[in-house]
Amino acid sequence: MNIQNYINGSYHNPIQNNWIDNYNPSNGEVYGQTPNSTKVDIDKAYNAAKSAFRQWSQTTLEERSRILIKISELLEANLDRFVEAESKDNGKPISLAKSVDIPRAASNFRFFGNAITQFASESHESVGQNAINYTLRQPIGVVGCISPWNLPLYLFTWKIAPAIAAGNCVVAKPSEVTPMTAYLLGKILNEAGLPKGVLNIVHGLGNTTGQAIVEHPDIKAISFTGGTSTGAHIAKVAAPMFKKLSLELGGKNPNIIFADCDYDDMLETTVRSSFANQGQICLCGSRIFVEASIYEKFKTDFVEKIKQLKVGHPSESDTNIGALVSKSHLEKVKDYINIAKEENGVILCGGNEVKIKGFENGYYLEPTVIEVKTDECRINQEEIFGPVVTIMPFNTEDDVLQMANKVKYGLSATLWTNNLKRTMRLSNQLQVGIVWANTWMMRDLRTPFGGIKASGVGREGGFEALRFFTEAKNVCIKY
């Protein structure tokens, strides 16, 4: 099935007729073509967005809210179609697409449809000076949204929903590796009555289509989620044009387990936080540190649980681990397993490709647990973004804090302990944007989301996202 750009409310082939193959990771086959759009397509999308901006920015909050909530309802009504498309395009188990990805995409529209009606700005009385200040929160204009392949529609809508809720018009690009659900979204936008040009979805490679969005002088803000090196490149291109930037980048998150935790809950959640979505979630706890007194027990129990996970075709309802997203990504993850061996890491389980009968060319890999001797080895420092975790013991709270912070990334951390003082001490000192204690990836869409250090700049979520997608203008009136 071929994909087209969605510009000004209708579908179009790329103007220069450049296309790339779209692969099904579960069997390694090409199943369609995706536009590789160029500057001329971005200009066309920009012009549509610009023409729509005046009216959309003046549309009442109630009306914007109504349309966003309608999009959410239509996504829910078309759940199965989107779930199948997401699983086929990405390789993720259909159960995950059904329980997490597509419902969350619908929630994103519903949440920001509601949030925009509650988005208040500030006012300050300058006492003794007969003056009052109030702050306008005005939409920026035309903004760019660029998203990755791991949670395709989930992360795409996490950007575009607040952008349009706040009154902007958008030129958006999903990952070229997983374009399908963003393509399908266009039809829903029309059905929901989103005015033409408010949201334009353009497909293609990062260094052609993505680059053209970032380079466009009149696209005033870029919300980007993806790899750290891509984020650094985008920042460099955008800086001379003084674009507003939100960068959600890579992670290498510690999962810190103390002996006093609720063990069974911890074990079950740690299986999920390690391998959900084949470990391809920026929030996965890829470095597991376990207090020495329970280390051997944890090692045995964890490995036993991981060996029970079923690596299988994404469409089978009992599959735990589906396919990795692409051949090149599979090769990258396998390279890291080899690096681990060279660094004297001990492979406790996994480490091999899996050939599934009938789907031998799919990109399957066993969930892999590697015991490392030092936290400074490459597999403990570099983002792998696949079904691979490291484990090692620690002795004291101070030791584990040092190790947790000694990476270039700073996205999230998970703590397992029933000691509240320790939870609060560590939460204060961990160099990350998000801490979970005794849970993982529990999300409340009102909360700020994002990382520090090489994990990003800025925050998404709740009013933070609406702040990003608006400019504050202060008005001071003397009376």
Binding site for ligand NAD (CB under 6 A): 146-150, 155, 173, 175-176, 205-207, 210-211, 214, 225-227, 230, 233-234, 248-251, 282, 383, 385, 411, 451, 455-456
- Catalogue the active-site residues: 248, 282
Tokens of 150: 């791991």
CA distances, 210 to each of 143, 154, 206, 297, 458 (Å): 13, 19, 4, 47, 20
Residue length of the chain: 479
Report the C-alpha gap between 46 and 61 in whole angstroms: 23
Report the C-alpha gap between 109 and 113 in whole angstroms: 6
Signed CA dihedral, 386, 206, 412, 335: sign only: positive
Cβ–Cβ < 8 Å for 219, 142:
yes
CA-nearest of 194, 203, 186 to 10 is 186
State the nearest-atom distance from the C-beta of 94 to ligand NAD, in Å: 20
Nearer to ligand NAD, 261 or 454 (CB): 454
Residue type, 372: V
State the nearest-atom distance from the C-beta of 457 to ligand NAD, in Å: 11
Query: Residues near 74 by Cβ (< 8 Å), separated by ≥ 6?
Result: 188, 191, 192
Nearer to ligand NAD, 232 or 475 (CB): 232
Report the C-alpha gap between 344 and 373 in whole angstroms: 8
Nearer to ligand NAD, 393 or 456 (CB): 456
Tokens of 10: 């209708």
Please give the biggest Cα pair distance in the chain.
80
Query: Residues near 360 by Cβ (< 8 Å), separated by ≥ 6?
Result: none
Strand partners, 288: 255, 391
